[in-house]
Chains A and B, each alone.
Chain A
Amino acid sequence: MKKVLTALLAAGALVTLAACGGNSDDGGSGSSNEKVTLKFQSLAFQKTTVAATKKIVADWNAANPNIQVEYVQGSWDSVHDQLVTQFQGGTAPDIIHDESADITGFINQGYLADLSPYLSQETKDAVSQGVWDTVSKDGKVYAAPTLLQSYVVFANSAALKSAGITATGDSLSWDDLAADAKKLTAGGKYGLGWGLKSPTATMLNLGANFDAKFFDGSGKDAKATIGDAELEVPKRIHAMAYDDKSIDPTSLTLSGTDVLPGFYAGKYGMVVAGNYVAQQILQEAPKTFQWEVLPPLKGTSTKQAANPQTLSVPAEGKHIEQSAKFIDYYMKAENLAAVGQGDWLIPTTQAARDAVLKATGGKNGWQQILASGAELTKAPFQSVENYPQWKDQIATPAFQQYLANKTDAAALGKKLSDGWGQVNN
């Protein structure tokens, strides 16, 4: 007991000391320039990306003795809960790594700082307007978009060959996808495995292929518009699964990465997934497994909704200007290229994409993946305030029921639009 108490007291004393030590930095030890330490919470996932991010931080720290950045490892799984609490408690990190879909709520709640006065013109010019739009509201910019993902078709090269399919050209139409899947379906094997356990993001992002809007207007006044365009992607997937029987219906209930073992084993000729899955395929597919990325899917266009990863600064942060400087540095082509390559994601700037293309030689599907990144842009649902609630409570269950063949397309459409009325009041 005594020991514990002493230990607790000692620990308490140490912490107090540490806190005092921290304060003396702010007080200034006589130097004219204010020295600050910024906490950068990074969500880098793959080993290579963690290393690349740490290198960026180290390089920056070496060049900027007065603005030191401390790397803090966060995780995608818990970042949202953590940020909600930290914003409420006023202890958010100085530089926040997240993604645009997740920060939309934080923007509406006023937690994030407007970075437009601080970011350099160079950074602003490097990223396309369509991507800036995903992190902006009312002319203010709340984050720097760093990396993008798109949905692409991965294919088993040997299976394509034996079915006599050659995928060339700039794009792959949905009709061709269905036809190819049919050709690849035989003898207990399915043409396509598609992990749609969480279907909403895929449906809405790929919906942009057919100009699906889902919403009209923004904020609280938005109206749900569910018409033919919006139901096109679900209908096509449903038809492949239940009319053509070229999609394994079981795969529709799995997550994007859970379908991969079946893909390696030849059970599925193709899978549709986020492009980052390439990293996992490279890591765990049998050495003999030959795979490729098909050209971007095309409906009326090859557009997909962009949901970039982001770097933001809290509105109540004490060092917004310095944090923005670090973000500028992070956005430099060679840095973005390094982190993008590690996590197998598409950098938001053309210069960085070129750097990745050069570094990888376009191999392992990089060429197609980078090509798909050029057409990513903001979709209407991204500025709808109650979208997350509609997504969880209405859209996800409705899509899941439809994909399990429990309802028809008309009922799906009705649920999606009636559900909006329920959650947005």
Chain B
Amino acid sequence: MTATLTAPAPVKNKGGKPKANREAILLFLPALLPVLILSVYPLIRGIALGFTDARAGLHVETNFVGFDNFGKLVQNHLFWDSFRIGVIWTLSVTILQFVAALGLALLLNANLRFRGVARTLALIPWAMPPVVVAIMWRLLLHPTNGPVNEVLQKLNLTDHPINFLGDFSTALPAVIVVGIWVGMPMTTITLLAGLQGIDRTLYEAAAVDGASTWSQFWNITLPQLRTVIVAITSLDMIWNFNSFGLVYVLTAGGPGGKTMLPMLFAYNEAFRYGNFGMAAAMGDVMVVIIIGFLFFYLRNRLRSEA
């Protein structure tokens, strides 16, 4: 087996292409079957569902309806309202989270004492089950007996308790903060792993040349982290756009629809009203829009050059 796989020529050599393809397929093999059966097939079913009138119900016939669902969706301003909220939420959480996580990852990568402890503690939000996270934050932000309001009032930052999650002006910012908190560990640890992978000699050489910390960061760290940054921010973006469980428990989309994320909207459509076809159409629209958006972001990565 190993003998047949021996490839003396470097892979980027064009002459070796058929062989490279065969090798690639071999490497893919263990993943192929489970992915095709348990992911690709259900996904295709799910996407196709958007072109049908599938509804919940016993022995309900499902018919192909072409683009009917999409036609209706264009006029559904509630959906587009929630889409707008989704975009605000996604961009705010992703960007703020990235900036905060990069700062933390750099600190945790520095040669500080107790960094092992700090690294573990920084992962706390990750270790808490999502149900608990949401209930926990509801208590922290509680207007009558939550510590956040208590502290704000002690510091005289506010004269009356604020119901962050229930007030029209603070609800979206509040859930964004919780969103950042929840996703921080994930982003931090990925960036930290990326930082760990950077060749130390690059810094040593730069230090010899007398480069400042800032210019080292700008000229070595960021370029070296590029692939990891692109990978994690694009995933964060997708996940944030997709998340709804957290917000569902925090605000259930309220007050007055201010935190109604698109995925929550689609979820209700499928599971509460039983309109699977329409909900799948919403999913399709989101797939097209997000992938279109990401396409620009990921141009280089998606192009099939290694």
Q: Which residues of A approach B to under 8 Å, CB–CB?
A: 77, 80-81, 84, 87-88, 105, 108-111, 197-198, 250, 252-254, 258-259, 261-262, 265, 267, 315-316, 386, 388-389, 392-393, 396-398, 400-401, 404, 406, 422
Contacts and interface: CB of A to CB of B under 8 A. Distances in A.
Contacts, number: 93
B274 A197 contact: no
Contact of B163 (A84, A253, A397): A253
Given A389-B273, A400-B255, A404-B168, A88 B144 contact: no
B63 interface: no
B59 A254 contact: no
B256 A397 contact: yes
A110 B166 contact: no
B60 A109 contact: yes
Contacts of B142: 258, 261
B254 interface: yes
Name A's interface SS: helix
Given A109-B57, A398-B256, 5 more contacts: A105-B272, A110-B58, A197-B254, A254-B163, A315-B58
Interface residues of B, number: 32
Interface string B265-295: 0001011111000000000000000000000
A250 B161 contact: yes
Contacts of A110: 57-60
A67 B145 CA distance: 49
Contacts of A265: 144
18 contacts: A87-B58, A105-B272, A109-B57, A110-B59, A197-B254, A198-B252, A250-B143, A250-B166, A253-B163, A258-B144, A265-B144, A267-B144, A388-B272, A389-B273, A397-B254, A397-B256, A400-B255, A404-B255
B256 A389 contact: no
B270 to A, nearest CB: 8
B168 A406 contact: yes
Name B's interface SS: loop
A197 B272 contact: no
Contacts of A398: 256
Nearest to B269: A389
A317 to B, nearest CB: 12
Contacts of A252: 166
B58 A254 contact: no
Given A250-B166, A397-B256, A111 B273 contact: no
B78 to A, nearest CB: 6
B143 A111 contact: no
Contacts of B144: 258-259, 261-262, 265, 267
Contacts of B138: 258
B256 A406 contact: yes
